[in-house]
Structure 1
Amino acid sequence: MSGPLPTDPRLILLSPEDNCLIAGARLEAGTQLDIEGERVTLAKTIDVGHKVARRALAKEEKVVRYGAPIGHMTAPAARGEHLHTHNLESDYLPTYTHDSGHEFVNH
């Protein structure tokens, strides 16, 4: 019986259902990483804490982190591609509003 395919230890899988990984270190453009047995070369630098596509994702596909949908793709992404505001839109609904007419004052 074989185990899971190798993934670079700098990439963190938060939940088995996730289709994204989290960068555990700053990953420079040109870095080669293994993601579930497939070697990918990063086109752009990915900062620590940012999301990386665990597999190819299609436009409008839900992005799942911690086993829950967090947003949807606004453009397709290849395995290993940076997932951020340029290709991912949040599906969270705001739970508060900012009233620009009020300012917090500490007395």
Structure 2
Amino acid sequence: MAKVAWVVDPTDNVATILGPEVEAGSKIAVEIDGVEVEVPVNNKIIYGHKIAIKPIAKGETILKYGLSLGKATEDIKVGDHVHLNNIESNRGRGDLSKKEAE
């Protein structure tokens, strides 16, 4: 199975799609901390977008590159597209202190 997604940090709960778009109903290989796992694809996801590689509860921090991107606005299942529709970003927000953004 060709790798089309990238995980940088073992604490990440999302992977970034690097290859061509992945279709709903397919499965992709993702390497997490040296272990390859198969992740189902629940929604069509285009290049550069994120896919959940672990269950993410509403309010939980979205981690990419070991850094917080924001909070989940709903429960996100493994294989779901993770994007503006289900994240409240903490990047570029002037109303949060650095500590609150973490």
TM-score bracket for the superposition, by shorter chain length: 0.7 to 0.9
Is 1:28 matched up with 2:38?
no
- Unaligned runs of at least 5 residues, structure 2: 31-35, 95-102
How far apart are residue 32 of structure 1 and its match? 2.0
* Residue of structure 1 equivalent to 2:9: 15
How many angstroms apart in 2 are the aligned matches of 1:68 and 1:31? 28
Return the letter of the residue paired with 1:61: E
Displaced runs of 4 or more, over 4 A: none
Amino acid at match of 2:58: K
Query: TM-score normalized by structure 2?
Result: 0.74
For residue 93 of structure 1, report the CA deviation from its aligned partner. Answer: 3.3
- Whole-Å separation in 1 of the counterparts to 2:39 and 2:69: 26
Q: Could you tell me which residue of structure 1 aligns to residue 62 of structure 2?
A: 63
Larger radius of gyration: 1
RMSD (CA atoms): 2.0
Distance in structure 1 (CA, Å) of the matches to 2:51 and 2:29? 12
Secondary structure, counterpart of 2:10 in structure 1? coil
